[in-house]
A and B are shown apart, each in its own frame.
Chain A
């Protein structure tokens, strides 16, 4: 019963499109607000989905961001088509970033993406290879 998905929101995220970066996570946020989800949960999901979306924009070849609603949890899924995370342990370290100067000049790439996602999540699974990365983040209601 609790594993039955009630609703999935899906968004395409385009690599290097900094103009649109943040739009998918904004849409997720406003959908959750209209569902009446508690504000402390929304705050966590806002941060998680924003960081995940920016990771897609900055580091991936592009991909999808999903937000799945269950009776007892919300799951954010980020899927991309590569190039994969070379060293996951290193990527989880606060302040570590592979972002180039051009990205940092825009105020992104501070090396807080994955650490922040971990900080605000109840469960985090990362599956990565050169074919692509899937990140599954769970927040219990």
Chain B
């Protein structure tokens, strides 16, 4: 497995911005440089966005090798829906898929086509199963992992309908096997992604299935080539995304596509945390469906996008309002048959159960940590290398750092 965030130690100045921003407190400063605890990282990309010194690079060179070192494989591309918001007004978006083919892919299956199917499956499940409320979307892998780490009791609220990337991968593979007479191992599926979290969804899914996508390509890495090709006169092949499917890139788009009347769309990490607290308190059980996206405005806010999330949102709304939907969805006719066989459903992967809890020890541990924390200045300044005084107290208790790493106390000593 490869980590989706590259970190350049030389560029890091130990400013603590990323450490304080991290929603799972996965970052510490060690010898003045940021260090990510990969076991806690949910790949939300907040550190990449906030770093003033560009020490985090949202890429892994691996994707390039995967794409270019496998000439014998049949390469399928699945463009993310947010891609359609990345071009200036008036760009002929029906040329985008052809431009992707000309980058060296053999086949394109649009994520928006899969979204057409998934939206229907979501609607049916919500209408049929009324015991769980609210259902929570599993579209954003970073939001799902935030729930897993901070709100595990809400795992039962996840809707567990396969997301469009996964469905697109399965259907594209099926089509290529049939039309080109290929075997599964001769095919490689690439998702053109708006964010690093999708890589995590591919390498370590929450569901009990083998992902259909093999690798993730950062959208920004191929954008230049795509854009130059899309505006070329001689690119005149047309193929359309599903316009409502494209709206999935924007917060609220899933629910609108599924024609839900009673939903809540929340975006941005802090906002998700507030809403999850409310759900945990039993307050939002009058809502059918909650869409949570880690990034501002939804997937258009992902770090691999090129255009500002608000401009991209406006672009996508413009497309929806100005174009007729000429999309011919290749698989929509098969929906009923797919739904009947449970094609969209999945189960969560079995997780290792934590050791039997000894409450007495846990209380003692908590009290000792509180004792340490009460001796700290409570400034949450981050200078010790932990994001808060409480986090530092925990690290000291776990013998992962020294009490006098606290700069304030050291100065007083």
Contact = CB atoms under 8 A, between A and B. Distances in A.
Interface in A92-141: 116, 120, 141
Q: What size tier do the contact residues of chain B reach?
A: 10 to 19
Interface string B352-381: 001001011011001100000000000000
A140 B182 CA distance: 57
Interface stretch (A33-41, A59-67, A78-86): A33-41
Give chain A's interface secondary structure class.
Answer: helix
Nearest to B283: A50
B281 interface: yes
A6 B280 contact: no
A15 interface: no
Given A36-B357, A39-B153, A69 B282 contact: no
Contacts of B360: 6, 71
Interface string A3-14: 000110000000
A36 to B, nearest CB: 5
Given A40-B153, A42-B153, A35 B280 contact: no
B281 A50 contact: yes
Given A36-B354, A36-B357, A40-B153, A69 B363 contact: yes
A3 to B, nearest CB: 14
A141 B359 CA distance: 10
Contacts of A22: 277, 281
B152 interface: yes
A107 B91 CA distance: 46
Contact of B359 (A25, A50, A71): A71
Interface string A25-50: 11001010011111110110011001
B281 A46 contact: yes
Which of B280, B281, B357, B367 counts the most A-chain CB atoms under 10 A from its CB?
A: B281
Interface residues of A, number: 25
Contact of B363 (A26, A29, A35, A39): A35
Contacts of A38: 357
B153 A35 contact: no
A25 B281 contact: yes
Contact of B282 (A34, A46, A141): A46
Contacts of B357: 35-38
Contacts of B363: 6-7, 35, 69
Interface string B324-357: 0000000000000000000000000000001001
Nearest to B286: A110
B136 to A, nearest CB: 14
Contacts of A47: 281-282
B188 to A, nearest CB: 38
A71 B357 CA distance: 10
A141 B280 CA distance: 19
Given A36-B354, A39-B153, A50 B362 contact: no
Given A37-B357, A40-B153, A43-B153, A116 B366 contact: no
A29 B359 contact: no
Contact of B152 (A35, A39, A46, A51): A39
Contacts of A141: 359
B366 A6 contact: no
A57 B357 CA distance: 34
Contacts of B280: 29, 42-43, 46
B193 to A, nearest CB: 30
A35 B282 contact: no
B359 A69 contact: yes
Nearest to A49: B281
Contacts of A120: 282
Given A35-B357, A38-B357, 11 more contacts: A6-B359, A26-B277, A35-B363, A36-B354, A39-B152, A42-B280, A46-B282, A47-B282, A69-B359, A71-B359, A71-B360
26 contacts: A6-B360, A7-B366, A22-B277, A25-B281, A29-B277, A29-B280, A31-B366, A34-B366, A35-B357, A35-B359, A35-B363, A36-B357, A36-B362, A38-B357, A42-B153, A42-B280, A43-B282, A46-B280, A46-B281, A46-B282, A47-B281, A47-B282, A50-B281, A69-B359, A120-B282, A141-B359
Interface of A: 6-7, 22, 25-26, 29, 31, 34-40, 42-43, 46-47, 50-51, 69, 71, 116, 120, 141
Interface of B: 152-153, 155, 277, 280-283, 354, 357, 359-360, 362-363, 366-367
Minimum-distance CB pairs A-B, first 8: A39-B153, A47-B282, A43-B153, A50-B281, A39-B152, A35-B362, A7-B363, A6-B363
